[in-house]
Amino acid sequence: MSQALVHNATRGTGKRQRLAKPELLAPAGSLEKLKFAVHYGADAVYIGGQKYGLRSNADNFSFEEMREGVEFAAKYGAKVFVATNIYAHQEDLDGITSYLKELEDAGIAAIIAADPAIVELAQQVAPKLEVHLSTQQSTMNWQAVQFWKEEGLPRVVLAREATMNEIREMKARVDVELEVFIHGAMCSSVSGRCVLSNHFTDRDSNRGGCCQSCRWKYDLHADEQSIMEPGDNLFTMGSKDLCMIQHIPDLIEAGVDSFKIEGRMKSIHYVASVVNVYRQAIDAYMESPEEYELLPEWVEDIGKAANRPLNTGFFYAVPGSEEHIYEAEEKPAPYDFAAIVTDYDEATGIATVQQRSPFRPGMEVEFFGPGGRRFIQQVTEITDEEGNSLSVARHPLQKIRIATLQPVSPLDLMRKRLS
């Protein structure tokens, strides 16, 4: 178990304490996304299996895919966690024992659980699996953290509503790993405990069926009459997304052990972009805290992958009305994921890319890869694999050849600037 602070000198010398490097934990909604998350710098990824998780609509993993994911992650020294974070009805527990044992056999490092029945059962039947307490337990005080430590859990995933001061106190009082969401979507309900989806669609949010009803568009009524004027935008209840890239020093100094990114339903572009930025920021601070500075390109790159406006959640203050989205959302930056680099010929300077959304000659695109490598260029001539010139790359997954201004590597990504 990692410690919040590791002394590099005896007390009384006045020397600065050396901070432990936090884990960067990324979402992976599919095996492909897992590989990109790890390749772009994640220390660990969390995934969902075919059962017992809260993202039933994600491309959840079979046991065979889990084994492949574990094997791939191990090459990078990374770990794989599995979300088993439903609140279970009795019928949900059928088969849970064999499921947990299979996770253990597949090499999964830990499960993320909320229901005490699943927590206790995992400790009994799959002792090699660490059990991390899910954010669904809404843990916001050090006494609760102490309780779960005494129950044998090495890590607690805090509620998104926990403040920076509360995190500091938890870490000072309890020697246990703390995992904290630092980027991604926020729930309009406390720690995801929502029943709107149940009410409107009979889909249970706490059993993996959330219909995102807070993002729906609503009319406003008073005394059974609409109070909206013709042409008014319909009302939504969604919150802005969380982003802590500007506050990496605070998180590390507070002793947070694991920086968690939300987004198992998000794209490869989102996962790679966000992981890439936080990886650079964490490494830069750990290398030289005194000389650390936030680079503008980090904030810019986060914006290129953002789906909604961003804020700092509950870390410094309770979000007010200005931290919610009431009208039509606008993408913060006009960029879209266009292609994945699959090969590069150094002799010709020609890259082979796999199309993920249409692009054409004349478009401005940006190539980027792990560690902050990136450059912008205009697309010149493009051809298919047989060398035929194309006016547009229109077919999904088609292999396209394109000249690049700088060398690129497999798994680099290309995004396009939208006009």
Boundary-marking domain end, from 291, 325, 359: 325
Rg of the chain over all Cα atoms, to the nearest angstrom: 23
Confidence of residue 170 (pLDDT cuts 50, 70, 90): very high
Boundary-marking domain end, from 276, 306, 325: 325
Got the DSSP string for 157-205? E--TT--HHHHHHHHHH--SEEEEEEEE---SSGGG---HHHHHHS--G
- Distance between CA atoms of residues 392 and 338, nearest Å: 12
Residues spanned by the domain of 120 = 5-191+238-325
Per-residue b or e along 128-156, where b marks 16 or more CB atoms closer than 10 Å to that residue's CB: ebbbbbbbbbbbbebebbbebbeeebbbb
Task: Assess whether 306 and 362 both reside in one domain.
Answer: no
Task: Assess whether 80 and 122 both reside in one domain.
Answer: yes
* Max avg pLDDT among 53-62, 86-95, 153-162, 181-190: 153-162
Q: Is 330 a residue whose pLDDT tops 90? A: no
pLDDT for the residue numbered 205: 65
pLDDT for the residue numbered 211: 73
What are 194's two structure tokens? 């929502």
Top pLDDT among 374 and 198 is at 374
- Distance between CA atoms of residues 298 and 278, nearest Å: 8
- Dihedral in degrees, nearest 10, Cα atoms 359, 365, 366, 369: 20
For 32, 351, 401, the CA distances from 391, given in Å and listed in that order, are: 29, 17, 13
Task: Assess whether 409 and 293 both reside in one domain.
Answer: no
101 domain-assigned: yes
pLDDT for the residue numbered 300: 93
pLDDT for the residue numbered 229: 79
Got the DSSP string for 227-241? -PPTTPPPB--EEPE
226 domain-assigned: no
Boundary-marking domain end, from 306, 325, 344: 325
Long-range contacts of 318-323, Cβ-Cβ distance < 8 Å, separation of 24 or more: 319/239, 319/240, 323/239, 323/240
Q: Calculate what percentage of the chain has a pLDDT beyond 70.
A: 90
pLDDT for the residue numbered 6: 35
Q: Is 213 a residue whose pLDDT tops 80? A: no
Please state the rounded mean pLDDT for residues 17-37.
91
- Distance between CA atoms of residues 39 and 24, nearest Å: 12
Task: Assess whether 262 and 406 both reside in one domain.
Answer: no
Please state the rounded mean pLDDT for residues 223-238.
78
pLDDT for the residue numbered 225: 83
Could you read off the pLDDT of 195-211 as tens digits, one per residue?
777 778 777 665 566 77
Total tally of structural domains belonging to the chain = 2
DSSP SS3 for 355: strand
Beta bridge partners of 242: 184, 311
Could you read off the pLDDT of 257-293 as tens digits, one per residue?
999 999 888 999 999 999 999 999 999 999 999 999 9
- The answer to whether the beta carbons of residues 175 and 148 sit under 8 Å apart is no
What CATH number is associated with residue 75? 3.20.20.70
For residue 413, give the nearest of 303, 283, 280, 276 by alpha carbon.
276
Task: Assess whether 318 and 339 both reside in one domain.
Answer: no
Task: Assess whether 157 and 279 both reside in one domain.
Answer: yes
Task: Assess whether 70 and 112 both reside in one domain.
Answer: yes
DSSP SS3 for 368: strand
Q: Is 58 a residue whose pLDDT tops 60? A: no
For the whole model, what pTM was predicted? 0.89
Task: Assess whether 52 and 162 both reside in one domain.
Answer: yes
DSSP conformational letter for 385: T
Maximal CA-CA distance, the chain: 73
Please state the rounded mean pLDDT for residues 368-374.
96
Task: Assess whether 245 and 312 both reside in one domain.
Answer: yes
Task: Assess whether 164 and 283 both reside in one domain.
Answer: yes
